[in-house]
A = this chain, B = another copy of it.
């Protein structure tokens, strides 16, 4: 039981860390398009939670966790406010923004695949939904900012998420210990994405 609680805690941590990382990426993109305070908060929230909401609708988990669990909204708002406050520094740093984005990609690919498996779906659904969780928020961000999404333009973006999700599903099928089955695919996806920059 305590083992299961620990695993649950680990995945919650992964999910909230991904939310934080993507909210920074979203807030920076919105700030660069000269949106005002609400626009930045909205884009940060949608970038952070859009992929998870799409995943939850596809597996029938309603209402989606991004709406019903206040921790997501709070995490996204804090990350967006930090980005706004620190913007003079953030602006000069494309590197850290991409770092956060690559982190979010790995964290969400693994969490999304895990959640689909927990809901009892097969490996194909889990891998596709892991990828959708990871890239969905960024696609929604770019659609709302009326531009062709970087998800479609950068080859090693969605493919890195796909690889991470596939490795996570493999790990759960082979009953790797939770810590390995979680962090190995996260690092693999993050490494793939980051190496391609």
CB-CB under 8 A from A36, the residues of chain B are 153, 155
Give the number of chain A interface residues (Cβ < 8 Å). 43
Contact A64/B58 with A144-B148, A158-B42 known, Cβ cut-off 8 Å: yes
Can you list 13 A-B contacts (CB < 8 A)? Answer: A38-B159, A42-B151, A42-B152, A57-B62, A58-B63, A60-B62, A63-B121, A67-B125, A68-B122, A68-B124, A68-B125, A143-B143, A143-B146
Which residue of the partner chain B has the closest CB to A68? B125
Segment 98-131 of A: residues with Cβ below 8 Å from B: 116, 121-122, 124-125, 128-129
Is A134 close to B, CB under 8 A?
A: no
Contact A67/B129 with A38-B158, A144-B139, A159-B38 known, Cβ cut-off 8 Å: yes
Q: Map CB proximity to B onto A148-189 as digits: 1 under 8 Å, 0 otherwise.
A: 110111010111000000000000000000000000000000
- Which of A36, A128, A129 has the largest count of B CB atoms less than 10 A from its CB? A128
Task: Give the dominant DSSP class at A's interface.
Answer: helix
Which residue of the partner chain B has the closest CB to A35? B152
Is A37 close to B, CB under 8 A?
A: yes
The reply to whether A144 and B155 form a contact with Cβ atoms under 8 Å apart is no
Give chain A's interface residues, CB within 8 Å of chain B.
30, 33, 35-39, 42-43, 53, 57-60, 62-64, 67-68, 70, 73, 116, 121-122, 124-125, 128-129, 139, 143-149, 151-153, 155, 157-159
The reply to whether B58 and A67 form a contact with Cβ atoms under 8 Å apart is yes
Contact A63/B125 with A144-B139, A144-B152, A153-B35 known, Cβ cut-off 8 Å: yes
The reply to whether B144 and A38 form a contact with Cβ atoms under 8 Å apart is no
Contact A62/B64 with A35-B153, A144-B148 known, Cβ cut-off 8 Å: no
CB-CB under 8 A from A37, the residues of chain B are 155
